[in-house]
Structure 1
């Protein structure tokens, strides 16, 4: 199968023909239909986050089940599925207390010494990234890394649910538990930020303020439900948000991964408000609250993958799309073949579009 391989940080991905193993117990072989380009992958590609190499990135995907191993009970051959990087074991403390996105997923990977899921022609192993490695024509994953969806769902749009939408919507519905009428500010209008805005609208948020330095993205945010927009790089961006929300927002959600954006989120809060950091900050960076913020009851939290419970959340998000409430069409900026993946990441670096999606021939 063809796959995009990261060989060295800071270098373009290389298209190679790799071998993929047969499904073992609890494993599912998926024919990849589409995979979104996510900024999280770019962190690994650029080397700001370490990972054993060579590896195949990609984690925001949808496809069709081609084969299943023994003991698989959640999907069958022919099912349409969405994959999710927050693979869960189902029996650790995090799983049994309902915090599945925090599961380290050790039991969802093959044991050391086993045949690798991915390999080159000479038999050398290629590392699987985030339990998925979706920039490839096929994926071999644990059954707890995918979920069956309505077969009527278009798979190119389904793919972006696997990360951007699950993260953004999960933050609104799970991590923040936004209630109707509450005010929300979203810092950063990429795929995750736009999905967060759309979900805030679905949740019935009152004022939804989008902050981004790029005018085109601010206008896209309006289309997806923002009531107001602010230039995130303006010197008075926080003051604008506080004024628009009449004293600060109930929830400020950072969807970029930059210290300045996190500070903007914290500075936009009202008394008792919560700042939620979704972006992957540079390793070593810290975000904090001042003493007066703490005395004002303000809170700061992270929300990996939006605190999702993806086997339940993802089918619901698919239903939102099919009923016309979730706007995935506007989030997707372009559809490209695997061979154009490096061009897609260059566009991402420029920040001038929303989501690029790789579409594979079926």
Structure 2
């Protein structure tokens, strides 16, 4: 087996991503080598290069992916050669305080880790991998708890989306907001995560799902996902949402952008006693301002949803079954199928708010 592969690397902060030849590490005990077959282009990858996050370099981009196990190390018990797997970029250790208290999505060994070294090298120098994965490459080496087996009948491009966009958006609705039948839901930001939240809200029985985006071309995608209303984002968003919700505001707002301005808009468009769930990951210096009086008088709940507040080992296989059973349709989420060399152009489309998910196929 070749110990070299091609990967998409950012060498230093501020430089463009480029395809380079990387030397793969030897596989160690408890590790798994996966041949990447599909990888989604996620906004978190863009955050690694646009200044929102400051990861170490050189850096292999990509984290939302699926592939086939081609090698396993000693003592591996949860994967075997030939398995089709989804990669988990925030695997739970199952032994820290958070894992033992039912919050594996906040696992102290992986939560908040932007990038790691894993033995990969470029010109004999260490290379970091995004969120411990580095999926914009032909292969990855990860610990066995970072792979989750899915049925081989599930297409790789759809399986890849389960590892981030679908799990995050669906989990925000099911696990964090806990949307109930008959409620109204506002979703702001219609990328892959936001469209997944729209679909999950309708599946949860929401009577009204109002989808919001700055790009009016997202209307068709929103309707395909199950939105009952589409609203182009504007300064009058709160007034518009209230006019559609008996003047009260939405029961739930799911913010999938990660900006103070859109969190504030979600807050204002939610009814008294409603809940705002923040899914988008924002910048450290983008400050949100709420007065002490409005926090008290509005009686609203403001929460974050990290990785869908999900136990990935349980929920990714369940989502895979839903896709195969026809309960969860994902095809509309993939608007572009591309190669590794096309990822920078996909970032440009994402920055302009175009399309839903671009998926690299290998």
Is this a same-fold pair by TM over 0.5?
A: yes
Q: Is the 8 A contact 2:52 2:282 kept in 1?
A: no
Q: Is the 8 A contact 2:68 2:85 kept in 1?
A: yes
1:276-315 alignment, distance < 5 Å: 276-290=277-291, 291-315=293-317
1:344 aligns with 2:346: yes
Alpha-carbon deviation of 1:3? 0.2
SS in 1 for 2:181: coil
Distance, in Å, in 1 between the alignment partners of 2:52 and 2:361 is 27
1:56 aligns with 2:60: yes
**The one of 316, 319, 322 aligned to 2:318:** 316
1:97 aligns with 2:94: no
Q: Is the 8 A contact 2:90 2:110 kept in 1?
A: no
**The one of 14, 29, 47 aligned to 2:51:** 47
Q: Is the 8 A contact 2:10 2:61 kept in 1?
A: yes
Distance, in Å, in 2 between the alignment partners of 1:286 and 1:240 is 25
Task: Tell me the matched-pair count.
Answer: 353
Q: Is the 8 A contact 2:259 2:286 kept in 1?
A: no
Equivalent residue for 1:87? 91
1:130-169 alignment, distance < 5 Å: 130-169=131-170
1:198-347 alignment, distance < 5 Å: 198-232=199-233, 234-246=234-246, 247-290=248-291, 291-347=293-349
SS in 2 for 1:300: strand
Equivalent residue for 2:72? 68
SS in 1 for 2:282: coil
1:8 aligns with 2:12: yes
Please, what is the CA RMSD of the aligned residues? 1.7
Which deviations, in whole Å up to 9, do the C-alpha atoms of 1:161-195 show, x marking residues without a partner? 11111100011111111121121100011111001
SS in 2 for 1:185: strand
Q: Is the 8 A contact 1:80 1:148 kept in 2?
A: yes
TM (norm. structure 1) is: 0.93
SS in 2 for 1:131: coil
Alpha-carbon deviation of 1:40? 0.8
Unaligned runs of 5+ in 1: none
Unaligned runs of 5+ in 2: none
Structure with the higher fraction of residues in strand conformation:
2
Alpha-carbon deviation of 1:325? 2.5
Which deviations, in whole Å up to 9, do the C-alpha atoms of 1:295-342 show, x marking residues without a partner? 332111111112111111111111121122222110001111111111
Q: Is the 8 A contact 2:157 2:359 kept in 1?
A: yes
Distance, in Å, in 1 between the alignment partners of 2:297 and 2:237 is 23
Distance, in Å, in 1 between the alignment partners of 2:346 and 2:294 is 43
1:359 aligns with 2:361: yes
Distance, in Å, in 2 between the alignment partners of 1:161 and 1:131 is 17
SS in 2 for 1:78: coil
Which deviations, in whole Å up to 9, do the C-alpha atoms of 1:25-62 show, x marking residues without a partner? 22111000000111111111123211110010101000
Change (3 A) 1:106 1:184: closer
Q: Is the 8 A contact 1:57 1:129 kept in 2?
A: yes
Q: Is the 8 A contact 2:25 2:119 kept in 1?
A: yes
TM (norm. structure 2) is: 0.93
Change (3 A) 1:132 1:349: same
SS in 2 for 1:330: helix
1:99-138 alignment, distance < 5 Å: 99-105=103-109, 116-120=118-122, 122-138=123-139
Distance, in Å, in 2 between the alignment partners of 1:214 and 1:242 is 21
Distance, in Å, in 2 between the alignment partners of 1:26 and 1:171 is 31
Distance, in Å, in 2 between the alignment partners of 1:235 and 1:47 is 26
Q: Is the 8 A contact 1:251 1:274 kept in 2?
A: yes
